[in-house]
Amino acid sequence: MIITIDGPAGAGKSSIARRVANELGFEFLDTGAMYRAVTWGVMQRGIAWDDVESLVEFADAARLIWQDDRIYLDDQDISEEIRTPQVTSHIRYLADPPKIRERITAQQRRIATGRDIVTEGRDQGTEVFPDAHCKIFLTASPEERARRRQRQLAEKGQVITVEEILASQNQRDLEDRMRPVGRLRAASDAIVVQTDGMSPDEVRGEVLRLVRECVQASAANSAPSDVTT
Ligand code: C5P
């Protein structure tokens, strides 16, 4: 069974998806980490960002492994390295070209094959798993997302204004919404969860409730019907 959780940057998808997966005993896949990993790999090799052919070639050869919540590129665990602002600001070079998305999409489908999994990203319910059993689109206003991010960073001792966060977040939202393939949008059959004014616990509770409903409905649909003679 596949559950997709899509939404914009800073909507809290990763922590919710991880939590939902834990509660249901499903696996969890962070697809943003895959785009981040190939971006980091390109930075290490010094491939020019506008050399699309070489970027595609690199993405083709890259061995991405997602295991126990860690991401490996060619056997190297780069789970921390991929979270830098430098990686974030260059992801579009790998996330925009349709040919690269094709390869990463194929890897995501391969990882999900035969598994009960919660996958999280931008295009999971639209492009990658259009037949997913349950689709959630988790969102909040840009201001709310920026305020939450600021609080998270402050807890780690990083001081940055809401305006600064908002500016880079708006830029990412724009890039994510404009790409020709795999752009950020809710699937027509996704349940949209608007989380402004909700606490993290309330969001978790609501998403879990919706997913449980979906999983039950899906199990009921696939159960063999009674045969009466
Ligand atoms: O989720 P996260 O913020 O780590 O994703 C990083 C970037 O990777 C996103 O801003 C988006 O550009 C790209 N991405 C994507 N498709 C996905 C997941 C992430 O294009 N399924």
- Report the chain's mean pLDDT, rounded to a whole number: 94
Which amino acid residue places its CA nearest to atom 4 of ligand 1? Answer: 32
Protein residues with CB under 6 Å of any ligand 1 atom: 9, 31-32, 35-36, 91, 95, 121-124, 172, 176, 182
Task: Give the pair of three-digit tokens for residue 77.
Answer: 């665990």
pLDDT at 184 over 80: yes
Which amino acid residue places its CA nearest to atom 7 of ligand 1? Answer: 32
Percent residues over pLDDT 90 in the chain: 92
Q: What is the CATH number of domain 2-213?
A: 3.40.50.300
Which pLDDT score is estimated for 223?
72
pTM: 0.94
Q: Report the alpha-carbon distance of residue 107 to residue 10 in Å, rounded.
A: 24
Q: pLDDT band for 226, please (50, 70, 90 cuts).
A: low
Residues 6 or more apart from 104 whose CB is under 8 A from it?
Answer: 31, 34, 35, 38, 59, 64
Write out pLDDT tens, residues 73-101. 999 999 999 999 999 999 999 999 999 99
